[in-house]
C-alpha cells in the first residue's frame, strides 16, 4: 500500500534523508522511530506529497506520489504533530470542508460517528480556536478518517490527548488496519510503539538502521537480552 524506494531528501547542502527503502502493506502498522532530526517527519511529509523527494520513488496504493499526486493524496491522510486547523471554523465546518475536498458522499452520518467516538459531538458548533490542544488533535484525527484513506500517517499523534483519548486512538488505528489500511505512526513513546505496531523502522542521522518485526530487531544485536524492551533495542540501533 505504501512503498518507498531509495528515498533521498536534501535541503541545499544538508541531506536530511538518504537511501531509505521500506513498504507497508494493508493491515500493517509501522512504527517510525528515531532521535530528533533523524528524518522521520521529512519521510512522512514526502509520502504525503507535501515535499518532493530529491531522489527515489514513493507510491501510495500503486500511485506515484510525484507523477500522480492527486490520486495518491486522495488515498492518504497525514496528521502532523501540530494540527493544521482553521481557528474560525467550527468542528462541524471542518468536517464539512474535508468532505467537500475529498468528495465524500453522505458525510454527515460518518462525521457524527467519528465525533461521537472521539467525544467531540457536544463541540459541534465550537470554533477550533476555542478547543483545547487535545480536542484539536481529536478533530484533526476525525478529519483524517472521514474519507476512509488507504494510507494513514501520524506524526506524534498522542500529543495533548488524555488517557481516554489515547485508548480511543489506539483502538481506532487497530480497527483501520484490520479493515485494510496501511498505517505509519511516528512517536518517541516507545512503549506505545511496541504495544501497537506490527513492525518498526528505525532512522538515525537520516539513515535507515532497521526495518522489520521487533523480534527480528532483538536478534540483530547479540548484546540484547531475549526479554529486552524496544527502548533498549532502540539505543543499540541508533548509537551503533
Question: Mean pLDDT across the stretch 33-41?
Answer: 93
Listing DSSP states for 3-34 in one string gives EEEEEEEEETTEEEEEEEEEEE-TT-EEEEE-
- Cell readout for 44 is 512522512
* Start-to-end CA span in the chain (Å): 31
Q: What is the pLDDT of residues 179-224, one digit of tens each?
A: 999 999 999 888 889 889 989 999 999 999 999 988 787 777 666 6
Residues 192 and 215 in one domain: yes
The pLDDT mean for the chain works out to 92
Residues 71 and 157 in one domain: yes
DSSP state of 127: B
Q: Give domain status of residue 38, yes or no.
A: yes
Q: Give domain status of residue 166, yes or no.
A: no
Report the distance separating Cα 139 and Cα 95, nearest Å: 8
Core vs surface per residue 139-158: b (16+ CB within 10 A) or e: bbbbbbbbbebbbbbbbbbb
Q: What is the pLDDT of residues 49-101, one digit of tens each?
A: 999 999 999 999 999 999 999 999 999 999 998 888 999 999 999 999 999 99
CATH number at residue 23: 3.40.50.300
Measure Cα distances from 237 to 72, 87, 189, 211, 225 in Å.
32, 41, 16, 11, 14
Q: Give domain status of residue 175, yes or no.
A: no
Torsion of CA 136, 75, 177, 90, to 10 degrees: 20
pLDDT at 240 over 80: no
- The residue segments making up the domain with residue 32 are 1-75+151-161+181-240
Q: Give domain status of residue 42, yes or no.
A: yes
pLDDT of residue 223: 61
pLDDT of residue 222: 61
Residues 64 and 21 in one domain: yes
Q: Give domain status of residue 19, yes or no.
A: yes
Q: What is the pLDDT of residues 113-163, one digit of tens each?
A: 999 999 999 999 999 999 999 999 999 999 999 999 999 999 999 888 999
- Give the Cα-Cα-Cα angle 158, 232, 204 (nearest 5 degrees): 70
Residues 140 and 109 in one domain: yes
- Of the candidates 100, 85, 19, 17, the residue with the CA atom closest to the CA atom of residue 51: 17
Q: Give domain status of residue 56, yes or no.
A: yes
pLDDT of residue 239: 74
Q: Give domain status of residue 176, yes or no.
A: no
Q: Give domain status of residue 58, yes or no.
A: yes
Residues 90 and 49 in one domain: no
Q: State the total domains in the chain.
A: 2
pLDDT of residue 159: 83
Task: Look at the alpha carbons of 186, 35, 217, 159 in this order and tell me if their dihedral is positive or negative.
Answer: negative
Amino acid at each position: 500500500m505504501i512503498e518507498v524506494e531509495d528515498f533521498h531528501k536534501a535541503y541545499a547542502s544538508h541531506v536530511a534523508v538518504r537511501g531509505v527503502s521500506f513498504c507497508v502493506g494493508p493491515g500493517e502498522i509501522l512504527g517510525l522511530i528515531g532521535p530528533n532530526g533523524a528524518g522521520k517527519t521529512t519521510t512522512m511529509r514526502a509520502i504525503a506529497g507535501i515535499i518532493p523527494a530529491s531522489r527515489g520513488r514513493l507510491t501510495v496504493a500503486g500511485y506515484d506520489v510525484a507523477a500522480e499526486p492527486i490520486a495518491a493524496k486522495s488515498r492518504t491522510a497525514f496528521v502532523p504533530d501540530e494540527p493544521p486547523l482553521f481557528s474560525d471554523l467550527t468542528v462541524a465546518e471542518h468536517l464539512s470542508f474535508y468532505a467537500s475536498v475529498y468528495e465524500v458522499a453522505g458525510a454527515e452520518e460518518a462525521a457524527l460517528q467519528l465525533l461521537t467516538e472521539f467525544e467531540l459531538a457536544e463541540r459541534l458548533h465550537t470554533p477550533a480556536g476555542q478547543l483545547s490542544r487535545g480536542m484539536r488533535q481529536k478533530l484533526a484525527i476525525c478529519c483524517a478518517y472521514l474519507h476512509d484513506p488507504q494510507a494513514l500517517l501520524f506524526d506524534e499523534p498522542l500529543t495533548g490527548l488524555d488517557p481516554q483519548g489515547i485508548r480511543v486512538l489506539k483502538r481506532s488505528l487497530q480497527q483501520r488496519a484490520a479493515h485494510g489500511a496501511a498505517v505509519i505512526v511516528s512517536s518517541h513513546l516507545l512503549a506505545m510503539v511496541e504495544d501497537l505496531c506490527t513492525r518498526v523502522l528505525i532512522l538515525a542521522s537520516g539513515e535507515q538502521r532497521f526495518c522489520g518485526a521487533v523480534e527480528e530487531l532483538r536478534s540483530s544485536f547479540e548484546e540484547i537480552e531475549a526479554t529486552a524492551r524496544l527502548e533498549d533495542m532502540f539505543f543499540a540501533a541508533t548509537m551503533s
